[in-house]
Amino acid sequence: MGGIDRTPQRSFFQAAGLGKTELSQPMIAVVNSWNEIVPGHYHLQQLSEQVKASIWAAGGTPLEFNTIAICDGIAMDHDGMRMPLISRDIIADTVELMIRAHGFDGMVMLASCDKIIPGMLMAAARLNIPTVMVTGGASLPRGFFHPQGPFSHNPYEMVSQYKSGKICLQELEEIEQFTCPGAGSCSQLGTANTMAIMTEGMGMSLPGCGTSLAISPEKGRIARESGKAVMKLVAENIRVSDILTPAALQNAVRVGTAVGGSTNLTLHMLALAYELGVPFSLDDIDRISRDTPQIASLGPHYMLDLDRAGGVYALAKVLGSKMEREALTVTSDTVGMHMDRAAVHNSDVIRDLEHAYRAEGGIAVLRGNLAPDGAVVKQSGIAKDLYCFTGPAATFECEEDAVAAIYDGMVKKGDVIVIRNEGPSGGPGMREMLGATAAVMGKGMGEEVAIVTDGRFSGATRGPAVGHISPEAAVNGPIAIVQDGDIITIDIPNRILHVELTDEEIRTRIKQLPARSHVQQSGLLGRYARLVSQAHEGAVMK
């Protein structure tokens, strides 16, 4: 911001209250997704004050701006669920716009929840300036109700329990009041916490950031240290491209699958790789997951337990040589150096390799004539005796139709529920099918039916649910031609998703599909439908 030629720009900054001293220092953007709507972001304003104070103390000039944040939990199970995945790319765009327009020297990004963390990482990849991420942290573990009763910590499943007559209205209201205990992202391992763990694993946040709770004193300390860290990165000219390398992507997937993370990690890692210009595919994710034992499970445990057990680098230490130790982090130290300093404090939470929950990581990528370009399943959320499932298709053109059929008893034991037209373009927006999975669980059919869809699933989804089928129905992928009664096989160990039709039958049915007019949507949804790529490419707007 120096020199005669920058006089006009400095005059505008001075109009905003900055003086010569402030304008002579490195200008650091504090990018915040705080708002009063989303519990995961409700506390970020306090953290940003800690970040800014440490930047001032280290000789920088922090300037804060905000971007959007959507709560998937609030958007879930209605038309609003079209918006969260779209918002990821919009968040990346808004951050890029602000940073490029105003010429910042570095940035600290504060974010929480499912699409905001990856959206900011995508922006960081585009901008390639010194950057530190502060993930907002999980909430306290959810409240407990009548431990002997049929209660889940998923209020969507509890709605299904109520509709099935298994709980009364008073019990449902109690769950509504107490299930979410305050600021922070969901306490279990959904997409938000998966991405926080992976952000630390890839070196973009400080040690401890991925697992420290939203309300913890540790989170405030990490926020202050992050302000100092970005100033060091600026001084040493360490940019995002120095940290987000192919090795960093592998480390991120390694820790994400080692904890049994969300299927959404596949979309976000592919999108991040796209922004970085790094070759990375579903096959790479599957390869890493096959070679990564699941040594932590946030089914019986919470983020609080993982943090107390030692956190991300303790988990990485157990993985040992499977991690890329020489990968650089935002502290200027390597991943290996942080691993050496870490220790496991609870072997029930972070197990050793000999006692892993599973020999493979949480994600499996399936292929076959129903998903030529791939499909994704969270194998860590499925009982092993359901890893192979064969049954007749029960087809539905949208999630609402499937949910209604489940509640009405139209879906039978052994069925494979096929939900289509929910992909990136066909949705548009690739909604999460939590309504369908919650209805299945609430009806007590979690081990009796399977779901396959070109839509997505919640990070907390359980049971045989295969999503991200690519190509999607909207572009005449094979899922578009499945008919009621067609036999579908899900074979997770062999990574197969197959419908018992010949190639010729599939080609004939595809030719008989009615011509699809383009999605008749106005505004953002229409733009997204025209521009978005398929799920196996990260569902990015190209």
Active site residues: 458
Convert 130-160 into a string of H (helix), E (strand) and C (coil). CEEEEECCECCCCCCCCCCCCCCCCHHHHHH
Could you tell me if 381 and 446 are in contact, meaning their C-beta atoms sit under 8 angstroms apart?
A: no
Report how far apart, in Å, the C-alpha atoms of 407 and of each of 117, 201, 401, 435, 442 are: 35, 41, 10, 11, 9
Whether omega before 300 lies within 30 degrees of 0, making that bond cis, reads no
Residue of 4, 27, 185, 223 whose CA lies nearest to 107: 27
Phi, psi of 107 (to 5 degrees): -155, 150
Cα(449)–Cα(386) distance, rounded to whole angstroms? 10
| Half-sphere exposure of residue 109: CA atoms within 13 angstroms, side-chain side | 34
Could you tell me if 285 and 365 are in contact, meaning their C-beta atoms sit under 8 angstroms apart?
A: yes
Residue of 120, 127, 105 whose CA lies nearest to 241: 127
Crossing angle between the packed helical segments 434-442 and 399-407, to the nearest 10 degrees: 10
For 237, other C-beta atoms within 10 Å of its C-beta total 11
- The DSSP code sequence of 52-114 is HHHHHHTT-EEEEEE-----HHHHTTSGGGGHHHHHHHHHHHHHHHHHHHHT-SEEEEEE-ST
- The DSSP code sequence of 285-318 is HHHHHHTS-B---TTTS-HHHHHHTTHHHHHHHH
